[in-house]
Amino acid sequence: MSEYREIITKSVVAKGRKFTKSHHNIQPPHRPTSILGCWIINHKYDAKKIGKKVEVHGTFDVNLWYSNHENTKTSVIIENVSYKDIIKLKYRDSDYHDDNEIIARVLQQPNCLDASISDQGSKIVVQVEREILVECVGETKMTVIFHRDGIEDDWDDDFEDDEIDDIKTDFLDFEESKKK
């Protein structure tokens, strides 16, 4: 005889995702002539739940290599950029408890799309993209079938091993099947 049981377990009860493009103005110490390269490294972030949204606070370093003094010298400038992304949550489970455990994963690390010298010629504008996924883990309830006597006897076959050996297979003509 089977009965139903309710189990309290932790599961993902809400998710959110955000893709962001942003522009950052960098003021180098020397007037830039051309951009030679731009890399983004040292991405760090932290997430916390506020209401039905998650705030992700993060930082990364923009490493910008540029030429100056009419392309006669090069310099590298490193600028630390901070950001705050607010990600809306979509709840899948309406019957949850204590959903304050947040898992944040970066789907796309901050990446430089473009670096160009501004119209005034003294600043460099860097375009950056990134994507973050957040999940809220909470306690939820699930219902399962419980068998008091252990496994039910639905697993028994109607055939015994001796009966399988007695099956006649000579109705198959192997010579005919080889021709096809």
Q: For the chain of 180 residues, list the mean pLDDT of each consecutive stretch of 10.
A: 82 93 95 95 96 95 95 95 96 76 96 94 94 93 79 59 70 58
Q: What is the model's pTM?
A: 0.72
Alpha carbon distance 112, 63 (integer Å): 10
Tell me the Ramachandran region of residue 96: left when phi exceeds 0, alpha when psi lies from -120 to 50, beta otherwise. Answer: beta
CA 115 to CA 98: how far, in whole Å? 44
Instruction: Report the greatest alpha carbon distance in the chain.
Output: 95
Distances (CA, A) of 149 to 1, 3, 30, 70, 153: 7, 11, 81, 86, 10
Amino acid 121: pLDDT: 85
- CB atoms near residue 38 (< 10 Å): 21
Structure tokens that stand for 107 in this block: 């789907």
pLDDT value of position 178: 57
Q: Where are the domains of the chain?
A: 2-147
Residue 171 pLDDT: 65
